[in-house]
Structure 1
Amino acid sequence: MTQISTARAPRLSRSRQVAVEHGSSRRQSNGTSVAAWLAVIVFGGFAMLPVYWLFATSLTPRAEVFSYPPKLFPSSPTLDAYRALIDNPALFAYLRNSIIVSVITAVLSVIVSAFMGYSFSKFRYRGRRSLMYLVLSSQMFPQALLLVTLYSVFSAYNLLNTYTALVLSFTTFTLPLCVWMLKGFFDTIPNDLIEAAKVDGATRLRTFFVVVLPLAAPGLVAAGLFAFVRGWNDFIFALTLAGPDKQTLPPGLVNTYIGEASTAWPELMAASLVVSLPVVIGFIALQRFLVGGLTAGAVKG
């Protein structure tokens, strides 16, 4: 009996040791999860605080905007700022201009960058690497530095106060990133698929449109969304190159609600929230394609 109990003792001690180690690892895992969730809550709250402040200010009467101490929520909320948006026809004109310019910029950027990215990825020719770095180097110049040159060029060709000036200027600055984004995505497409299409008798253009582009759909969506946001959010080019008839939402909101003597802060905050909705809805609807397009080119294989 004594021998049996002494034989079981090491087994019991090992089992107890395994249980202790398992409990310790579980506590460490729980502690890591709690720390991760706390970090998400803190940084998420920090990121969403400006959005909440926009919403709270849009519901605040103009006389209470600068009340002290500031309130996290207005004591007498009102929807007057949102009613003022509906009664202002100029904002709908700015919205129309933003949609036209942003959509054309996105489509043109995707078309041009798709051909350029595919050329850089799947073809080998003299000067290819130099052209790649030349496209990338254009991102090194500040956009405001080129504004005077673009203004002179567009003025010489009578393109000021036109959609063409805005689309060309926006596309110029979205192309480098779109090209490199799509090049990285095309790099992940196996060359065997292209060779198989060639063996089947497909031309290079047919291979590009039928085989390559469907596989590159997430990358095309990501590049198009980036170009759309670039055209939607631009302020300095839309303010300088377009007159009152062709201005987009960012300069239009400033000209409408910000004056020399006073600023209509509730109306400006309400308009900022409303004009942000198309971009937010686009991100939510295309989130799956956007994440796939941004991450697919990061790993080659």
Structure 2
Amino acid sequence: MKNKSKIINLSLIHIIMIVFLMMLLFPTFVMLSTSFKTFEGVLGWPPQWIPDDFQFINYINVWVGDYQFYKPFLNSMIIAGSVGLLSLLLGTPAAYALSRYKFAGRKLFLFSVLATQMFSPVVLLVPLYKIVRSIGLINTFTSVIIGRSAFALPMVIWLLTGYLSNIPKDLEEAAMVDGCSLFKSLYKIILPLAGPGIATAGIYAFIMGWNDLMFSLTFINEAEMAPITLAMSDFVGKNVVYWHEMMAAAVISILPVAIMFSYVQKYLVKGLTSGAVKG
């Protein structure tokens, strides 16, 4: 009886998990289905979940046709790539110092760093706009990159501190005994061992830059410099929304993030839960 009851409980758990998974994946399925329909097919009733004739022309028209979506796609790559790189360049030394050196207020500082994630960029948007305008950075990628990096940096520091704290300090000390300097041991030993953590933090910052709308909407006014988050509004007309082409653009937009997140997800949880708050 116990085995039978256990099998029933496991079956119920799996059924519930499958139902929740289907609920989570349903919007993605609708997006994919809509991206392959004609404009008339999107408005048809009852809805046809799987089109009879897949309209691959939607993707071609979005990418190199009327919308030239490859341009905002490249703009987003520049912004997101720069955010990831800048966050790593600033966050890695800070995380190394926090993981290796003990000082008063270290734990408080770490939690303060994480607490900054609770603040919305909207709170600082007006003063940031005034600063950016005063130094002549309106309509530049630099303004968006700096603004987004400032909000990505705290999480990068938190993640990397957790990874670096799990690397034994004895490895560095042994390398120094063999003649390595601090910087050489960091370059030769610590950074290679922390490779997955660095990749995770960099991809996290990349995703934040890729999804940015607020800073781009505030600091960029020229259509040629618009990232994908701004370019999506091109599919909305005065009296109509071209859902089939918008969904094709959405599929293109999520591909880089989906590919990166599939790699980063297992390391992301590890970084959040490992030694970032060790004494």
TM-score (norm 2): 0.89
Residue 182 of structure 1 corresponds to: 160
Residue 211 of structure 1 corresponds to: 189
**Does 1:251 find its partner at 2:226?**
no
What SS does structure 2 have at the residue aligned with 1:189?
coil
Whole-Å separation in 1 of the counterparts to 2:12 and 2:129 = 52
How much has 1:129 moved relative to structure 2? 4.4
Report the aligned-residue RMSD: 2.2
**Does 1:232 find its partner at 2:210?**
yes
Whole-Å separation in 2 of the counterparts to 1:72 and 1:298 = 41
Deviations 1:167-202 (A, max 9, x none): 111111111111111111111112222222232232
In structure 2, relative to structure 1, the CA distance for the partners of 1:94 and 1:108 (3 Å cut) is same
What SS does structure 2 have at the residue aligned with 1:90?
coil
Residue 145 of structure 2 corresponds to: 167
Whole-Å separation in 1 of the counterparts to 2:258 and 2:218 = 27
Query: Which residue of the other structure, out of 27, 31, 44, is the alignment partner of 1:67?
Result: 44
Deviations 1:178-235 (A, max 9, x none): 1111111111112222222232232221222212111111111111111111111111
Which sections of structure 2, spanning at least 5 residues, go unmatched? none
In structure 2, relative to structure 1, the CA distance for the partners of 1:296 and 1:154 (3 Å cut) is closer
**Does 1:37 find its partner at 2:17?**
no
Residue 52 of structure 1 corresponds to: 29
Q: Structure 2: which amino acid aligns with 1:236?
A: M
Deviations 1:216-267 (A, max 9, x none): 111111111111111111112112212322211011111x111332211110
Q: Structure 2: which amino acid aligns with 1:70?
A: P
Contact 1:186 1:297 in 2 (8 A): no
Q: Structure 2: which amino acid aligns with 1:120?
A: L
Query: Which residue of the other structure, out of 254, 258, 267, is the alignment partner of 1:280?
Result: 258
Whole-Å separation in 2 of the counterparts to 1:260 and 1:34 = 51
In structure 2, relative to structure 1, the CA distance for the partners of 1:299 and 1:125 (3 Å cut) is closer
What SS does structure 1 have at the residue aligned with 2:43?
coil
> Greater Rg, structure 1 or structure 2?
1
Whole-Å separation in 2 of the counterparts to 1:165 and 1:213 = 29
Q: How does 1:117-132 map to 2 (within 5 A)?
A: 117-126=95-104, 128-132=106-110
Residue 3 of structure 1 corresponds to: none
Residue 291 of structure 1 corresponds to: 266
Residue 84 of structure 2 corresponds to: 106
Which sections of structure 1, spanning at least 5 residues, go unmatched? 1-23
Q: Structure 1: which amino acid aligns with 2:27?
A: P
In structure 2, relative to structure 1, the CA distance for the partners of 1:161 and 1:64 (3 Å cut) is same
Identity %: 28
How much has 1:163 moved relative to structure 2? 1.3
In structure 2, relative to structure 1, the CA distance for the partners of 1:131 and 1:56 (3 Å cut) is same
Whole-Å separation in 2 of the counterparts to 1:216 and 1:29 = 41
Contact 2:143 2:219 in 1 (8 A): yes
Whole-Å separation in 2 of the counterparts to 1:223 and 1:34 = 37
Contact 2:37 2:244 in 1 (8 A): yes
What SS does structure 2 have at the residue aligned with 1:102?
helix
* Number of residue pairs aligned between Structure 1 and Structure 2: 274
What SS does structure 2 have at the residue aligned with 1:195?
helix
